[in-house]
Structure 1
Amino acid sequence: MERRPSSSVAVDTSAQRWSSPSRRDGRPCHSHKPAPAGRTTHWAAAAGSLSVVSRLLVGVSLAVLLLLTACTPASSRDQTPAAAPDRRAAARTALDGLRVVARPVADPSYRRAAFGPAWADVDHDGCSQRKDALAASVDRTRPLTERRNKRCAHDVIAGTWTDPYTGALLTFTDLTDTRQAQQIPIDHVVALAVAYRYGASRWTAELRLAFANDLSNLQPTARATNLSKSDRDPAAWKPVRAFQCPYATRYISVKAKYALPVDVSEKRALSEMLDRC
């Protein structure tokens, strides 16, 4: 199926709305695999692809929270990105359950290489995690081009995405063009450097690799937004007001999933953003 957008690269900053993070058939959206040819495929964020994660992470309440918050919403102009009351309550409960520590300083020993090769195919579906993240969040109500590329069944090379931090619409016609691909980086909701200084420096290499490629912590953004956020946490950086609630709930779910602590200022910032829900 090939439906090509009309422009090469377009950013619509007027969009400030997105849809509820659920599949169009109403079922929860977590791990998704390619459907047989001829069937519609819905891609959403998936977590816990490596067995080490399931062995090390505990707590039924945290798993429930992930089910409620981990999906990447699809873009829409018809709904605001507000969390349902039960998701907000679950996020507050999870936030209160996070261990509070003194605010850590930047760790000079941090290197991106500590988290393994970028976009490793940790779920062994033939697609890099970048391609998985793009397929999970592309707006399938708009023109797109999705192809099979070797073993990868969902290589989206053209389409429209919504920046989850600003609501801007990002439209690209050829992501095989490096210049276009550079304009839609994949952001770690909880930045790798943040995770490193809050405890990931003591993790095994296997767990760091899982964290860096966990789809529940990945989402495409505009290049400018990604550079602005960088490796800052919620105490130092916030998305635009309308998108603070979904950012906070997702950030908390990732920290809870990996038992990463928060500091007082970070917790206060997250609590304030939950007030936007």
Structure 2
Amino acid sequence: MSGYTSMSATPPASGIRWTAAVVLSALLALFTPSLPAIATDAPDGTSTTVAGPDAAVEAADLLATLPVKGRAPKTGYERSLFGPTWADVDRNGCDTRNDILRRDLTEVTFTSSVPCTVKTGVLADPYTGTVINFLRGTTTSSAVQIDHVVALSDAWQKGAQQLTIEQRTAFANDPLNLQATDGPTNQQKGDGDAATWLPTAKGYRCGYVARQVSVKARYGLWVTQAEHDAIADILAGCPGEPAPASVTPAAGTTVVYYANCTEVVTAGAAPLYADTPGYRSGLDGDGDGVACEG
């Protein structure tokens, strides 16, 4: 798609490079037994920065710190080992699938006045370079699916068996590891790694493998030799590609929501006019187009 760019973090300042010692120190912190921090999309549509590789770390440098091993057996793998499907890990009242739809889609509408369950939206799919209209429904929702950038089964075979259930649940719901994409494309990928599957949109491949590297470093996972070489080959074509620590919401996804007029007043936003972010008829008792004016 013309003008479509990678969703990676802001490139590092000129001349900034990590030494091997600094990278190793950062990686050691990732192997502590504490639960990895979770990035969330707050109800107002903002994105918080997650713990993980610093924005100044180049993906190629971080790749060099990942262990290279063969796949462990897939024996015992079950989806339930990564926690409930689309849990509300950030306790914002919305499940992870809807959080990611809200982050990655534009022109979002919701099924109710509460900005949680996404009803419609438009996806500029980074994997295919196409634009997809999302409409919630029994036969239509699958047109847009949420991909695990590092597939759950792939993670299971490359170190996730040693993680706790809490850490695996965090992994399965980590926004850095999740991307809304074309449904058939997600199905085609399956549990493929970079050696067996890449986005058809070549302009996004650098950003895609950089996210895989960040995710694997964050959760202490390894790569196979073929996977390592495939990622290295791609990153060689985009020197300086950063290892992202978070994902920027799609343009136009900001949602302002006030539960009541007390919140409006506290935020210093009163009165709310009909064309003002946060206005909704439920706050406008007399229906005059001005809410919380009293």
Q: Secondary structure at the match of 1:154?
A: coil
TM-score (norm 2): 0.65
CA distance in 2, matches of 1:204, 1:147: 35
State, as a whole percentage, how many aligned pairs show the same letter.
36
2:157 is aligned to 197
C-alpha separation in 2, matches of 1:34 and 1:93: 35
Q: Distance in 2 between matches of 1:232 and 1:45?
A: 29
Shift, 1:252, TM fit: 0.5
> Which of 86, 106, 110 is matched with 1:146 structurally?
110
Distance 2:95 2:212 in 1: 23
Moved over 2 A (4+): 18-23, 44-48, 146-149, 152-156
Residue ranges of structure 1 left out of the alignment (5+ in a row): 1-13, 24-29, 36-40, 49-61, 69-85
Q: Which has the larger radius of gyration?
A: 2
Choose from 110, 114, 118 the match for 2:77. Answer: 110
Q: Displacement of 1:201 after TM fit?
A: 1.3
- Alpha-carbon RMSD: 2.4
The superposition leaves residues 62-91 of structure 1 with CA deviations (integer Å, 9 ceiling, x where unpaired) of: 430xxx3xxxxxxxxxxxxxxxxx66xx10
Distance, in Å, in 1 between the alignment partners of 2:117 and 2:112 is 6
Provide the residue aligned with 1:156 in structure 2.
118
Give SS of 2:197's match: coil
The counterpart of 1:96, out of the listed 37, 60, 64, is 64
Say if 2:42 is the partner of 1:33: yes
Note the residue ranges of structure 2 that are not aligned, 5 or more in a row: 11-38, 239-294
Aligned length: 209
Alignment partner, residue 10 of structure 1: none
State the match for 1:7 in structure 2: none
1:111 offset after TM fit, Å? 0.9
Report deviation, 1:162: 2.0
Shift of 1:21: 5.1
Equivalent residue in structure 2 for 1:127, among 74, 94, 113: 94
Change (3 A) 1:162 1:46: farther
Q: Contact 1:45/1:136 (CA < 8 Å) preserved in 2? A: no
How far apart are 1:145 and its partner, in Å? Answer: 1.3
2:63–2:228 Cα contact (<8 Å) kept: yes
| 251 and 22 in structure 1: CA distance in 2 versus 1, 3 angstrom threshold | closer
Counterpart in the other structure of 2:131: 169
CA apart distance, 1:164: 2.2
TM-score, length of structure 1 as denominator length: 0.69
Distance 1:148-1:253 versus aligned 2 partners, 3 A rule: farther
For 1:18-97, list aligned pairs within 5 A.
18=5, 31-35=40-44, 41-42=45-46, 44=47, 47=50, 62-64=52-54, 68=55, 90-97=58-65
Per-residue CA deviations over 1:36-74 (Å, capped at 9, x if unaligned) read: xxxxx44x47646xxxxxxxxxxxxx430xxx3xxxxxx
